Structure 1
Amino acid sequence: MTFLNPLALLALVAAAIPILVHLFHFRRPQRVAFSSLVFLKELQQTALQRLRIRQWLLLLLRTLALVCLVLAFARPVLRGPLASWVGGGKASVVGLVLDNSPSMAVRDAGGAYFTQARVIAAGILAQLDPDTRVCLVPVAGNAIAPEPVPRSVAEEQLRLLAIQHGARTLSAALRSASACVQQVQAPAVLYVISDLQASMLVDSLEQFVPEPLPTLLIPVGGQTPANLAITAVRIANRIIEQGQPVQIEATLANFGTAAANGVVATLALDEQRVAQASVDLPPGGSARVTFSTTPMRRGWLPGIVELLQPDALLEDNTHYLVLHVPEVRRLLVVAGAQARTDYLELAFAPEIRQDRVRFEITRIDETALPATDLEEYDVVVLVGVHDLSSGEVAVLMRYVAEGGGVLFFPGADGRLADYQQLLTALGAGQIRGFVGNWRGATPIATFGRMDLAHPLFEGLFVRLPGQREVQAERPAVYFALNYAPGQGVEQTLIHMSNGLPLLQEVRHGQGRALLWTVAPDPAWTEWPLRGLFVPLLYRAVFYLAGGEEALQRTLEAGKPARVRLQSFPAAAIPELVGPDGQVYRADPERRGSVRWARFEPGPARPGIYELRAGDQVVQRVAVNFDVAESDLRPESPEVAVRQLQAQTGLSVTLLEIPEASPPVVAEALRKAQVGVALWNVFLGLALGFLVLEMLVGLRARVETVTTGNA
């Protein structure tokens, strides 16, 4: 017999209380004066003996009641062959939690962990009576059946079970199994078969199950094999164009205990290997490698980063990515009544851009802004708007926060208070009026210092041999906003020669705004007449539109997926099609001004998936391996038992099975029969002893009264 709450046994010292009361609670004899002894009867010796026996009986009953009550709170359980003889060894319903997460693909001398686990599970099912109900609950994926099924059905489910992605914690799977078996009002027992991967035991939710069912934890494996993994891939460039170099960074990790030197990683883009790098990885360390490639076409280009070294877990040696080289950029130009947009429209004309990316320009008056859906555009260009209502400011702020880009040019007749309202909403600085003379002939400054390390200027200027600094044009400035940067997330990209900001970047939420303090108008600056105007304008649009790709984070296999729907037909149903042809469908949902599609269940396996609207491929997304599965370090069985008990409140016992074979499994189960919970027996005994004590004490009081009356 074992106790699930052994600390409660300390309360056994309370059993000494009745004994101490009996031994030390003496009555002092009182002297009573009698006038005569004629009325006193002689005390019978038999009456005194009967009184002593009754007192000892009351002492015994009180002590036993306290002892049984303490034992009940200690939750005794009878295990082993004796438990089977008592009648608790055979459960009428069994919950079987089987770890089918990717780490179970690791192999040792006994074969793959998952194969061993299935053999053990089959051995458990073989020991059950044919009419036993079974809840087979895999760790990865939902429970196969929402209610207990016959043993024969569970055996077929076990045969079809495979390794899946999207594993939950062991404690979460145990809660599901507990809820499943409790649908049947019968004795139940839970089994857990797992490699005890440490990450599977981390659960911040301590939610106890309603009934502390007996649970057997059966570990498999137990080694820490050498394993390398690609934990992250990042596209370093924010501006991506056809024919321009792109930097792709990959983070490699060594989860083993030995150093891995000369690890080779390769990059394939658009189904062709384009780059390779090598690195040394210390034990438990990580390193970053950088690939450089040049996309030769536009579109959603699939890519793969791979490790060439074989290790314990091969699936995390591959990481998928999608490089979006835009085919078209959609611009919304919002123009004030007095604003000049001819230079902007000429810069984006097909004759100027030639074979570069195509721009779709939509020009509206500022009065039409409230009725326009900004989500349909990559960049919103505000040119000389006269005023902005509080509603328009709120829409623009939400658009930027959700990943949009705003390019702002002031107007000479613009209301500075409205401009300031927009800047304040974005967390920017202060406007202090204008400087210079509109349509003046005398410049107040020229283009000055540029932050050439910023992605906006990447590849825009070329430093010739012998030059210490990049030689850039310095257009004159005649009229400009007097802007003072604030304390928000912003930086000055171009200064004027007088020190005032000329181009300011303001970051807000997931998006960005570029604030020009001059307009694209020769009355403000000669910049529209210079060769710098078109390339710098292109770079600004590409930079602002790059937030779209930044929002499309990598999805994880086996988990619900949320994909942003941009340029997606309004009436179409989003479909996510995997490399194996499996189709996942979702209903669009709108949050603010952004449309999303939530796929639940999500993609089942890593790979490149196509987001389709009917037969049209709108974009591609990368689905990758869960990084947490790459750390194969197991937790010790003893620690795992304590953690599962603390997280679920179940009565967890460790069961070691040395070999995954049916005879060994049967013998191990026979020796570790799940026992009978005896707390209710001891509680009943305690109540019985108290009832007997009350009856004996009541009879003693009745006899005392009768004797007194006599």
Structure 2
Amino acid sequence: MQFKHPEILYALFLLLIPIIVHLFQLRRFKKESFTNVAFLKEVKQNSRKSSQIKKWLILCSRLLLLTTLVLAFAQPFISKYNSFKSEKETVIYIDNSFSLQAKGSQGELLKRAVQDLVGNIPEEENISVITNNNLFKNTEIKTIKNDLLQLDYSSNQLSLESVFLKSKTLFSNKKHTLKNVVLISDFQQNHTNFNPEIDSLTHINLVRLQPINNNNVSIDSAYISESTPANIQLKVILKNSGRTIENLPVSLFNGENLIAKTTVNINQVAETNFSLPTNEIINGKITIDDVNLRFDNSLFFNISNKPKVKVLTVNGNNDSYLKRIYTDNEFNLVSTSLPNLNYNIIDQQHLVILNELDNIPNALVSALNHFTTQGGFIIIIPSENINTPSYNLILSHYNSRLGGLLSSEKRVTTINYSHPLYKNGVFEKQVSNFQYPKVNSFYEVATNNFSAALSFEDGKPFLYQNKNAFVFTSALNKNNTNFKNWNVIVPTFYNIGKQSFKPPELYYTIGKDNAFEVETQLQQDDILSLVNNGISVIPRQKYFNNKVAINTSETPNIANIYNVQNKNETIKSVSYNYDRSESNLVYQDLSNLENVTISNSIVDVFNTLKSDAKVNALWKWFVIFALVMLIVEMLILKYFK
């Protein structure tokens, strides 16, 4: 029990006054001599005893009367917390990710949750609300009511740990303040482990929103499985997290035109194929009909004529193996000797290969330094008779230098499988025992901040990358090495070529770091935009001589096909789709979480918060008890004989 005015309790010292008065009244009876009659003695003894009992009862009743009056004026109350002296702060997280499109017993989980919030939070209470893409700080529910009722789904999904850390920043620094965190979500399995550290004044309430079923079919992915001069085979992967479905329609659109349709039977995973004509631009959309989650019912993609990667080889030795790798269907290869090199075409290339030149002229060094600064890539393959200073002049731009030539046999034994050249499907598995290629001579190298793709048995690099330069430390002619006979040579040079220019992929995933390049010539102050149906997004971009490198992550945030535009000119089309991680309706086990309260009802949680902070005043009961004591005293005076 607590008191609103505890200083009034000092009035309890006034209880000494009636005690002192009553003690003086309880003095001894004066003895009077009387006839020694037994009856008179009994009357005297009974009268004295009953008088003392009556006065003690009156004393007790008056003490209780005064005590209850003093306590009533001190205004006692009871509460679960010291609420009268403590302020209350509340932060609410509403998970508006796509999995909340699932149906509950009263409709979509998100829409129902927002309605329950609006109806159960007092209009004057100060709160902060967090969603996956918005923040409402220190406001009232009546102020943000319309914003919450119009809350849309977001492709972004915050982890519980991130939400809690953000909640802590919204609380004030006041001491003795009650801090309530309410997390409203379906708590899918993809959430990370949540074990918050809290103090005695912080309380975390988890409200789990549960769908009535876990059925959902999604278009998981699509890719080109086969390509011929006449047709392209587009393979589509579908996944199901519920009961088996038969004859599910799958439709393929080019723009607004339906160009193909099929049906599939799906238990957990199903595949289907569409045949598309080669060399035709397709702004495609694959759709299915599923009544549960809607965000994964469509997948956008683009098929267009990819520009060829431009490769220039400046030869001091035979480049026939390069011509077999850089074929006409994907690359535009220009081969020339150093005396016949046209310096004006260097800036038009994506990749320049110095193929075993003995000497690199200063003019070529300057041209290549400018070329790589503008986003171009180079491959340097030294000869066995190099002019070391000329090589080191260009390598100094990449914090590297070559030493003397060592004429001793050495084997290439190590593949860096995590290097970008090899990590994306080049090898089915990592092999530690293979037919090692060998070299008869190689150059010592001194370099900083390099990434070795291939290494010798002693750990020294055979092929390393620094910025946009790939450098071999040995000549590749057949008299010096059998590297050309090793099957790794093809993905090595091929992937370097592909890295030098990255045209848009079939589609990209919103929320991930995406990068692609488009060939265009921009005027000063021109910028590229991603445009679709009135939505215009300016992505991060970097302009080079003949291309623009574009990077996106969380924007655009709506799945669709976007045109890459320079003012009103469309250069390219790219597709963005939502991440499919929320398609699988599997949920986290919350029973092992500590320091949290778990509920299935928003109404119950807020009723509990109200009752926890509710003040129950008791002064009326003490006034009633004082009146009772007054009546008791009157009855004692009147009827006690």
* TM-score bucket (shorter structure): 0.5 to 0.7
Question: 1:607 matched to which residue of 2?
Answer: 560
Contact 2:187/2:587 (CA < 8 Å) preserved in 1? yes
Which of 667, 670, 674 matches 2:607? 670
Distance in structure 2 (CA, Å) of the matches to 1:104 and 1:269 = 30
Question: 1:228 matched to which residue of 2?
Answer: 217
Matched letter for residue 604 of structure 1: N
Name which one, 1 or 2, has greater alpha-carbon Rg.
2
User: Displacement, 1:322?
Assistant: 2.1
**Alignment partner of 1:122 is 2:118:** yes
Render the CA deviation track for 1:362-414: whole Å, top value 9, x for unaligned: 9895898999976x634435567444599999x999x99x9988799999998
User: Displacement, 1:628?
Assistant: 1.0
Question: 1:377 matched to which residue of 2?
Answer: 349
Contact 1:578/1:603 (CA < 8 Å) preserved in 2? no
Contact 2:312/2:335 (CA < 8 Å) preserved in 1? yes
Render the CA deviation track for 1:605-650: whole Å, top value 9, x for unaligned: 11112223333333322211111111122234535xx1xx5xxxxx
Query: Which structure's residues are more often strand, by fraction?
Result: 2
Distance in structure 1 (CA, Å) of the matches to 2:81 and 2:198 = 28
User: Displacement, 1:118?
Assistant: 0.6
Aligned residue runs from structure 1 range 460-539, under 5 A? none
Distance in structure 2 (CA, Å) of the matches to 1:281 and 1:396 = 55
Contact 2:104/2:211 (CA < 8 Å) preserved in 1? no
**Alignment partner of 1:106 is 2:89:** no
Matched letter for residue 607 of structure 2: R
Contact 1:106/1:312 (CA < 8 Å) preserved in 2? yes
Which of 238, 262, 266 matches 1:252? 238
Which of 574, 597, 620 matches 1:653? 597
Contact 2:530/2:562 (CA < 8 Å) preserved in 1? yes
User: Displacement, 1:180?
Assistant: 1.3
Distance change (3 Å), C-alpha of 1:544 and 1:270: farther
Question: SS at the partner of 2:147?
Answer: helix
Aligned residue runs from structure 1 range 183-332, under 5 A? 186-199=177-190, 201-203=191-193, 208=197, 213-236=202-225, 244-256=230-242, 258-269=243-254, 272-274=257-259, 279-283=264-268, 286-297=269-280, 301-306=282-287, 308-326=288-306, 330-332=310-312
Matched letter for residue 294 of structure 1: P
Distance in structure 1 (CA, Å) of the matches to 2:526 and 2:78 = 62
Distance change (3 Å), C-alpha of 1:573 and 1:360: farther
Identity of aligned residues (%): 14
Question: 1:137 matched to which residue of 2?
Answer: 130
**Alignment partner of 1:177 is 2:167:** yes
Distance in structure 1 (CA, Å) of the matches to 2:375 and 2:468 = 4
Distance in structure 2 (CA, Å) of the matches to 1:319 and 1:550 = 20
Contact 2:521/2:547 (CA < 8 Å) preserved in 1? no
User: Displacement, 1:115?
Assistant: 1.1
Distance in structure 1 (CA, Å) of the matches to 2:241 and 2:155 = 20
User: Displacement, 1:254?
Assistant: 1.7
Question: SS at the partner of 2:166?
Answer: helix
Q: TM-score, normalised by structure 2?
A: 0.56
Contact 2:219/2:236 (CA < 8 Å) preserved in 1? yes
Question: 2:42 matched to which residue of 1?
Answer: none
Render the CA deviation track for 1:304-351: whole Å, top value 9, x for unaligned: 233x34241122122222223135654445456xx899xx99xx9xxx
Distance in structure 1 (CA, Å) of the matches to 2:342 and 2:120 = 68
Distance change (3 Å), C-alpha of 1:331 and 1:148: same
Distance in structure 2 (CA, Å) of the matches to 1:248 and 1:418 = 50
User: Displacement, 1:247?
Assistant: 3.2
Contact 1:113/1:220 (CA < 8 Å) preserved in 2? yes
Contact 1:93/1:184 (CA < 8 Å) preserved in 2? no
Distance in structure 2 (CA, Å) of the matches to 1:631 and 1:293 = 30
Question: SS at the partner of 2:352?
Answer: strand
Contact 1:304/1:321 (CA < 8 Å) preserved in 2? yes
Contact 1:324/1:549 (CA < 8 Å) preserved in 2? no
User: Displacement, 1:167?
Assistant: 1.5
Distance in structure 2 (CA, Å) of the matches to 1:207 and 1:590 = 45
Question: SS at the partner of 1:157?
Answer: helix
Contact 2:99/2:583 (CA < 8 Å) preserved in 1? yes
Question: SS at the partner of 1:250?
Answer: strand
Question: 2:412 matched to which residue of 1?
Answer: none
Matched letter for residue 324 of structure 1: S
Distance in structure 2 (CA, Å) of the matches to 1:207 and 1:295 = 55
Distance change (3 Å), C-alpha of 1:357 and 1:196: closer
Matched letter for residue 598 of structure 2: L
Distance change (3 Å), C-alpha of 1:357 and 1:163: closer
Contact 2:279/2:305 (CA < 8 Å) preserved in 1? no
Question: 2:581 matched to which residue of 1?
Answer: 628
Question: 1:160 matched to which residue of 2?
Answer: 150
Matched letter for residue 113 of structure 1: L
User: Displacement, 1:225?
Assistant: 2.0
Question: SS at the partner of 2:585?
Answer: coil
User: Displacement, 1:110?
Assistant: 0.9
Distance change (3 Å), C-alpha of 1:373 and 1:96: farther
Distance in structure 2 (CA, Å) of the matches to 1:276 and 1:483 = 60
CA RMSD of aligned residues (A): 6.0
Question: SS at the partner of 2:170?
Answer: helix
Contact 2:539/2:555 (CA < 8 Å) preserved in 1? no
Contact 1:169/1:203 (CA < 8 Å) preserved in 2? no
Distance in structure 1 (CA, Å) of the matches to 2:120 and 2:349 = 60
Distance change (3 Å), C-alpha of 1:232 and 1:324: same
Distance change (3 Å), C-alpha of 1:273 and 1:203: farther
Aligned residue runs from structure 1 range 380-399, under 5 A? 380=352, 382=354, 385-387=357-359
Q: TM-score, normalised by structure 1?
A: 0.51
Distance in structure 2 (CA, Å) of the matches to 1:265 and 1:510 = 45
Distance change (3 Å), C-alpha of 1:378 and 1:541: farther
Stretch deviating more after TM superposition (322-331 or 620-629): 322-331
Structure 2 residues without counterparts, runs of 5 or longer: 1-76, 409-424, 426-438, 443-451, 455-462, 479-492, 615-641
Distance change (3 Å), C-alpha of 1:124 and 1:297: same
Distance in structure 1 (CA, Å) of the matches to 2:220 and 2:311 = 36
Distance change (3 Å), C-alpha of 1:278 and 1:216: same
Distance in structure 1 (CA, Å) of the matches to 2:382 and 2:231 = 34
Question: SS at the partner of 1:167?
Answer: coil
Distance in structure 1 (CA, Å) of the matches to 2:267 and 2:586 = 16
Question: SS at the partner of 2:591?
Answer: helix
Distance change (3 Å), C-alpha of 1:489 and 1:151: closer
Contact 2:519/2:548 (CA < 8 Å) preserved in 1? yes
Distance change (3 Å), C-alpha of 1:409 and 1:137: closer
Distance change (3 Å), C-alpha of 1:82 and 1:107: farther
Question: 1:3 matched to which residue of 2?
Answer: none
Distance in structure 1 (CA, Å) of the matches to 2:256 and 2:464 = 36
Question: SS at the partner of 2:152?
Answer: coil
Matched letter for residue 588 of structure 2: E
